[in-house]
Amino acid sequence: MNQNHEIQDSIADSGEQNNYMIKVAKENGALAGKLAGAGGGGTIIALSYEPERTKQALIEAGVDRFIDLDPHAPGVTVEYLGEGYEQVAVTGE
């Protein structure tokens, strides 16, 4: 993930704001960070085993919007209710 960001940044500038947010995240518990999207919107992805510490540092740096993810959530499951594919239930949380 870090290497991907370095490659993206070397091809086209990721933006000072994005690079700053990634730096803050990595200095505060994030294992990796990278640009999300084209880079103009100020959106990054950071992976951290200490999400509250990382989030607090980003708040102090001026970040005001977050999407918290739970990697342990079951996600989408497909349940076959009968013979074949005509009876399928797809659920997610």
Q: What is the separation, in whole angstroms, between the first and last Cα of the chain?
A: 26
pLDDT band at residue 39 using 50, 70 and 90 as cut-offs = low
- Distance, CA of 74 to CA of 93 (rounded, Å): 7
Q: Residue 63 — left, alpha, or beta (φ > 0 → left; ψ -120 to 50 → alpha)?
A: beta
pLDDT at residue 41 greater than cutoff 90: no
Q: What CATH number corresponds to the domain at position 12?
A: 3.30.70
Q: Is the distance from CB of 34 to CB of 10 less than 8 angstroms? A: no
pLDDT at residue 36 greater than cutoff 90: no
Q: Which residue range is the domain that position 69 belongs to?
A: 2-91
Give the tens place of pLDDT for each residue, 42-88.
889 999 999 999 999 999 999 999 988 877 777 777 676 666 655 55
Number of domains in the chain: 1
pLDDT, residue 31, reads 96
Give the tens place of pLDDT for each residue, 2-35.
898 888 888 888 888 889 999 999 999 999 999 8
What is residue 74's DSSP assignment? Answer: -
